[in-house]
Structure 1
Amino acid sequence: MELRIKQRVFSWTDTYDVYDEFGEPCYYVQAEFFTFGHQIHVFDKRSGQEVGSIHQRLFRFLPEFEIVVGGRSMGTIRKELSFFTPRYFVDYRGWQVQGDFLGWDYQVYQGERPVMTVSKELFHWGDTYVLRYNDIRDEIPGLLLVIAIDAANCGKD
């Protein structure tokens, strides 16, 4: 299974449209405009209901994000100090993230089980990420993880 995450270029906030493997819109991502740090919400395109959110924890040396689903904290993602390539500590569903974050080519594992791969498509107007996964239960958590890592990579002005 696959999700294609496309960033809207001309937007005041971080905004993404998310498409399924058939090119049908399935989610949209909208960041709040007047906030300190990132406050990002993910909505089901069909129902309009929020399926999860990402909240940046303030007053940290490096970016740290809390992932919330159904009003409950599901885990955190923290950028770690690294000199050459970005690294992340993931306390979320028992997942480990490995790969090239600068090149947006990484894999997510739960123990030895591969959960998903994430890659960035080149030569698009705006960022486009492809999330490939095998289990439908990993779809929304995976989408939230990708958006949180993108927020950590980009920072907030």
Structure 2
Amino acid sequence: MAFWGVEVRPGKPFIHAPNSGRRLHISQATLGTGSSLKNSVVQCNVGNSSPVFLCSLFPEKTEISQLHLEFEETVEVVFSVIGPRSVHLTGYYLGGRCGQHSHPDDETESYGEDIADTETERSANGSVEDEYEDSFINDDEDPEIMSPSTVYSSEGNL
């Protein structure tokens, strides 16, 4: 992983060029400094597609937005801001393309574990049949009706 960050200013879009072999993960958008109290919207265009809004940031209310976006496009991605204040986008580059396995000579590290290759542990005394025997729902009996609880006022009266 490698850090990535950019300040996108109103009227000055940022163009992210295709980067073969690396995916861009954007994890946060933060409102830049300024005195305007109007919101700023981050939008994204992938190639010639229609723009989509990623987030809307409001001064003194919502100045940070958590994002979980990954780009591995073969065309340019354009980020722009609609509004008076700049927005800082931060994230990181991931090693390979999605679904691409790394080679032993790769310098990237794998932080995950493929759970399909792990063994599960079973209790020696239990079986699949009695796994759900002690369900928290008891359909065999009539439901027990509880009386409402007593509520006391701040003076200790009912």
TM-score, normalised by the number of residues in structure 2: 0.24
Structure with the largest fraction of helix: 1
TM-score (norm 1): 0.24
**Greater relative contact order (Cα 8 A, min sep 6): structure 1 or 2?**
2
Asked which structure has the greater CA Rg, the reply is: 2
Q: Which structure features the higher share of strand residues?
A: 1
